A and B are shown apart, each in its own frame.
Chain A
Amino acid sequence: MRTIMKGLMGLLLLPVVALAEGYPEKNVVYQITFNPGGGSDIRARQQQPMLESDLGVKVPIQYKPGGGGSLGWAELVKKNPDGYFMSGINIPHIILQPLARDNAGYQTDQIEPVILFQQIPFGITVMADSPFKTLEDMLAYAKENPGAVTIGGSGTWDATHIAHLQFEKMTGLKFTYVPHKGGKPKQTALLGGHTMASWFGVSEWLPYGEKVRNLAVATNEPVETNPDLPTFKSLGYDLYSSVYHGVGVPAGTPPDVLAKLEASFTKIANDPEVRARKLKDGILPIAMSGAEAKALISARKEVWAPIVEEFK
């Protein structure tokens, strides 16, 4: 059904794409809001050759790291909305930063999502030798010893942190959330026994194989890589947590230009080889249109705004 819908939408878009014949006439800059060599950079450099052959112009990659990405997104919204400057975007970052900070330098609705091309669901992971065999074990222990369970996360006001706060509210229990300077230090801390449990993405726990055990994953349906792993929903907790990676342009970009960019990125996202590699690494390959992404952003914003307000 979904593919049929997409096909129909594609047909509808065809005349629009034809209108944007002139675009692009010069290089389209692809901005990365994190350090060179990070996940976002590597991803963009994988897309770069395919984008260049599809758009017919050079797609130079530029860096503007800092502030957890906020410096780059502040730069993005200052650019002309003409389609010649786009930037990698992450959800929840672009929703949470303007909510949590007085001066993030941009507002979420100043960014027009072009596409979200991958999703990484999160869950709670412990070491294989942990006494917590199930989520219930951990909750029971936390009930006896409020605040004694340390759960690692990748940072403050990121996907893991907001999931943690939601989870604490749902269970009514107290854990100690330990933020880290990104995903890798968080993984090291769990492996070294410095934290008791941790919020891991599927792509983060897969490489550790039998060394780790997952207690639950925050998706609607069980994930393909771990079919037996219960979802939070099946255990009675209405928790959904994923990080989404995509591309955005400044709000006000003409629809035909948006359509052209979306078409290019959709083509790459649906490339069988790209999909296969992502699945192998524990990343869900998706090709969520700009319109769908906008709906997702506003839905999430509604859920998160009160939580951020409460804990800010």
Chain B
Amino acid sequence: MFDGLIAGAAHIAVPTNLLFLFFGTALGIVFGAIPGLTATMGLALLVPFTFTMEPTTGLLMLAGIYVGAMYGDAIPAILINTPGTPAAIATTFDGYPLSQKGMAQHALVAAAFASCFGSIIGNIVLAGAAEPLAEMSLKFGPAEYFWLGIFGLTIISVLSSGNLLKGFITAGIGLLLSSVGMATLSGEVRLTFGFPGLQGGIGLAGALIGFFCLPEILSNVIGKRRETFSGEQVQPTMRVLTETIVALIKKPVLMIRSSVIGLVVGIAPGAGGNIASMVSYSEATRWEPNKEEFGKGTIRGVAASEAANSAMAPGSLIPLLTLGIPGSPPAAVILGALMLHGMQPGNDLFAVYSDVTYAFIVGLMVASIAVLILGTAGSFIYARIINVPSRTLAPVILVMTVLGSYAIRNNLLDVWVMLVFGIIGLILIKLKYQPAPLVLGIILGPYIENGLVQSMMIGGASGSVIGYMTLRPISLFLIGLCILSALWPVVTAWKRSKNSDDTKLASHSDHDIGLNSDLIMGIAALAVAVVVIISTTGLSRYGSVFVFSCAGVLGLLGLIALLKGFFKPEKIVFFESTLERNRILTGLLLLAVFLVLIPIAGFLAASLLFYVLMTMSLHDGRRDTKFLVYRFVQAALVVGVLYLLFYHGLQVPLPGGIWNS
């Protein structure tokens, strides 16, 4: 192994290789950072360029992209509360609060350092213990995925701090959303409500942008006219950089635990960074001291999430390089690239092509150092982005939300879904319900459903479904974790009540005004459950078992919420003023007109118009000529650059309007 590593390192020393490795890393950061673009897409687009390169050079560039993207997605998560990829959802929990406190650079540096750390730990394991761990990856069967998904759901108790009912209602809706479209296993089409475009299911990119990014802009920028995204101006300094890194070095347990969790989840084929960072974050809140800091902005939360999703990447390469089984979607693309260069993973990668293989592994490590360099140096620039007045920034971000939700599947319906999710997200937040459990439900739904249905089939063949699902070592371990995790809030609540009684918040002062939040959500949950059950009655047993169970539980939870709303009403003020309401409605109207215009006038014209109108609306109708000319030039520049990047650079077929077809 050491000979291999040294030979691999020799490849990296070649200037061309090192150059392409850095280039790949920088590109990966960009792909990770733009919501809607993913590591998978970046890799796929770059694979053809590797044809003309030496196999080693090409693979090193791909390694850079993969590692870079695992960090890049943290940047928008921290700055504008929008995870660049699903793997960075947990990064928003503490990253965005940090940047709200004017500590964006702390969060960015923490993310870069944790990504580098997690990646290096993962790669050391990949280089040293790939073979034995590959055997472990095969142990994950349907039952294990089912329990992994259920365990993932218990994280809700962490996400919805103290209000389990709210968390589970939103998660239930998320699980049901995940079943929209063609059922993966039974092949039946469900819950598309007459839109054939929904057969492909709910796009994760649209859900992320809709639930995380839009509500923030609608509520704070458009509604409240907040000056900047951060509470105060960020002044990046060298001191912040060293302080943050030293603070994290002093937390070895946190860093190593997070990396190991990421690694293990990566090894399980099929589970990816999405789950890794969530599990790692929730374990951090469980075991770390001063846990009340989590969610309010601590670099430990950012580090827990980022170390895990970066360690996931080398983990997912373990079954890939040894068995030819990709542990994540990006790993699947790397598999394709390896085969194009005539290397077949499994049989001969470590034997025949050990030279290239070890160069690739060393390349991954060097790329993680490149991430640290580019990430810390870049933090001086990125952190300043949110110093830009938000009324200038918001139109750019809004045009990008449309591009981001469209780009992966080239489906305008996805953009509408994104807008609807944005509205739902806004309502949820106003009603004091968090959207994070909902997105978690969308992510975990397929694992739970596929695991359940396959377990029913395989267990049915062996005689006992229950026996098949429980009497297996990893299953038992995961069931134990589920029980522990489910009981945890009870234990902490009991501890808390024993320690102090003075933490009761007196928040029931505004009894007569506002809406009854639980009543509304209870009715909504019941309505969703009824609609789902009615519209899925004709499905086969395998196509309906998951949907029915979820709808049943959701209906029950809705009933409880309804009762709670009656007996313990929690009154919520939805809009602080009619002015805020009108501003938000105007913003939504502009967005809707924008989407309607895209297929008619084409993307370019529609977004130019939207950009100018939105800017005017954010400046409350300023109409002097100088202002208008200045804004129009700005709009043309921004939209033009985005158009060039997406239409020509990424070959996304943006609609050209009716005169073009």
Footprint of B on A, CB under 8 Å? 29, 35-39, 41-42, 45-46, 48-49, 60-68, 70-71, 74, 100-103, 105, 147-150, 155-157, 176-181, 184-185, 187-189, 191-195, 207-209, 277, 280-281
Instruction: Tell me if A187 and B461 are in contact (CB < 8 A).
Output: no
Instruction: Tell me if B408 and A63 are in contact (CB < 8 A).
Output: yes
Instruction: Tell me if B141 and A194 are in contact (CB < 8 A).
Output: yes
Cβ-based interface call for B467 (8 A): no
Stretch of B301-309, B326-334, B509-517, B614-622 contacting A (4+ beta carbons < 8 Å) = B326-334
Shortest Cβ gap from A250 to chain B (Å) = 14
Instruction: Tell me if B48 and A184 are in contact (CB < 8 A).
Output: no
Instruction: Give CA–CA (A231, B332) in the complex, Å.
Output: 31
Closest residue of chain A to B325, judged by CB? A188
Q: List 28 A-B contacts (CB under 8 A).
A: A35-B40, A36-B45, A37-B330, A37-B333, A42-B44, A42-B333, A42-B340, A46-B48, A60-B651, A65-B409, A66-B200, A71-B197, A71-B200, A74-B196, A105-B196, A147-B460, A148-B462, A155-B184, A176-B460, A176-B461, A177-B457, A178-B457, A178-B458, A179-B185, A188-B325, A189-B141, A192-B138, A193-B138
Residues in A neighbouring B187, C-beta threshold 8 A: 68, 100-101, 155-157, 179
Which residues 603-661 of B have a CB within 8 angstroms of A? 651-653
Contact A61 to B651, CB < 8 A, known contacts A185-B269, A207-B324: yes
Instruction: Tell me if B47 and A208 are in contact (CB < 8 A).
Output: no
Shortest Cβ gap from B466 to chain A (Å) = 17
Instruction: Tell me if B326 and A36 are in contact (CB < 8 A).
Output: no
Shortest Cβ gap from A200 to chain B (Å) = 13
Contact A192 to B139, CB < 8 A, known contacts A36-B41, A46-B340, A157-B187: yes
Instruction: Tell me if A191 and B197 are in contact (CB < 8 A).
Output: no
Instruction: Tell me if B323 and A191 are in contact (CB < 8 A).
Output: yes
Stretch of B214-222, B344-352, B487-495 contacting A (4+ beta carbons < 8 Å) = B344-352
Which residues 37-57 of B have a CB within 8 angstroms of A? 40-41, 43-45, 47-48, 51
Shortest Cβ gap from B474 to chain A (Å) = 11
Residue interface bits B264-289, CB-to-A below 8 A is 1, else 0 = 00000110000000000000000000
Residues in A neighbouring B340, C-beta threshold 8 A: 42, 46
Instruction: Give CA–CA (A254, B323) in the complex, Å.
Output: 47
Residues in B neighbouring A277, C-beta threshold 8 A: 342
Which residues 181-216 of B have a CB within 8 angstroms of A? 181-182, 184-187, 189, 196-197, 199-201
Instruction: Give CA–CA (A90, B344) in the complex, Å.
Output: 24
* Contact partner, B138, options A68, A157, A191, Cβ 8 Å: A191
Contact A71 to B458, CB < 8 A, known contacts A37-B332, A66-B200, A209-B347: no
Residues in B neighbouring A65, C-beta threshold 8 A: 200, 409
Instruction: Give CA–CA (A156, B454) in the complex, Å.
Output: 13
Cβ-based interface call for B401 (8 A): no
Residues in B neighbouring A67, C-beta threshold 8 A: 181-182, 189, 199-200
Shortest Cβ gap from A218 to chain B (Å) = 21
Shortest Cβ gap from A146 to chain B (Å) = 10
Instruction: Tell me if A207 and B651 are in contact (CB < 8 A).
Output: no
Instruction: Tell me if B181 and A194 are in contact (CB < 8 A).
Output: no
Instruction: Tell me if B347 and A29 are in contact (CB < 8 A).
Output: no
Cβ-based interface call for B574 (8 A): no
Cβ-based interface call for B140 (8 A): yes
**Which of A102, A148, A149, A156: most chain B CB closer than 10 A?**
A156
Instruction: Give CA–CA (A271, B197) in the complex, Å.
Output: 38
Shortest Cβ gap from A191 to chain B (Å) = 5
Instruction: Give CA–CA (A207, B347) in the complex, Å.
Output: 7
Instruction: Tell me if A147 and B141 are in contact (CB < 8 A).
Output: no
Closest residue of chain B to A66, judged by CB? B200
Instruction: Tell me if A39 and B185 are in contact (CB < 8 A).
Output: no
Residue interface bits B11-40, CB-to-A below 8 A is 1, else 0 = 000000000000000000000000000001
Instruction: Tell me if B270 and A103 are in contact (CB < 8 A).
Output: no
Closest residue of chain A to B453, judged by CB? A179
Contact A37 to B140, CB < 8 A, known contacts A60-B651, A103-B189, A181-B184: no
Residue interface bits B461-496, CB-to-A below 8 A is 1, else 0 = 110000000000000000000000000000000000
Closest residue of chain A to B52, judged by CB? A49
Instruction: Give CA–CA (A74, B196) in the complex, Å.
Output: 9
Top-4 shortest CB links A-B:
A66-B200, A156-B187, A37-B333, A192-B138
Shortest Cβ gap from B261 to chain A (Å) = 21
Cβ-based interface call for B410 (8 A): yes
Contact A188 to B461, CB < 8 A, known contacts A45-B48, A64-B410, A105-B199: no
Contact A187 to B325, CB < 8 A, known contacts A150-B461, A207-B344: yes
Instruction: Give CA–CA (A283, B648) in the complex, Å.
Output: 34
Contact A149 to B461, CB < 8 A, known contacts A63-B408, A66-B199: yes
* Contact partner, A194, options B40, B142, B342, Cβ 8 Å: B142
Instruction: Give CA–CA (A45, B340) in the complex, Å.
Output: 11
Shortest Cβ gap from B644 to chain A (Å) = 14
Cβ-based interface call for B411 (8 A): yes
Closest residue of chain B to A174, judged by CB? B461
**Which of B40, B181, B347, B454: most chain A CB closer than 10 A?**
B454
Shortest Cβ gap from A150 to chain B (Å) = 5
Residues in B neighbouring A208, C-beta threshold 8 A: 324, 346-347
- Besides A48-B48, A70-B199, 6 new A-B residue pairs in contact (Cβ under 8 A), listed by A number: A46-B340, A62-B652, A63-B408, A150-B461, A191-B323, A192-B140
Instruction: Give CA–CA (A101, B190) in the complex, Å.
Output: 11
Residues in B neighbouring A178, C-beta threshold 8 A: 454, 457-458
Instruction: Give CA–CA (A62, B141) in the complex, Å.
Output: 34
Residues in B neighbouring A187, C-beta threshold 8 A: 325
Instruction: Give CA–CA (A36, B332) in the complex, Å.
Output: 10
Instruction: Give CA–CA (A181, B186) in the complex, Å.
Output: 10
Instruction: Tell me if B462 and A37 are in contact (CB < 8 A).
Output: no
Instruction: Tell me if B409 and A68 are in contact (CB < 8 A).
Output: no
Shortest Cβ gap from B603 to chain A (Å) = 15
Shortest Cβ gap from A74 to chain B (Å) = 6
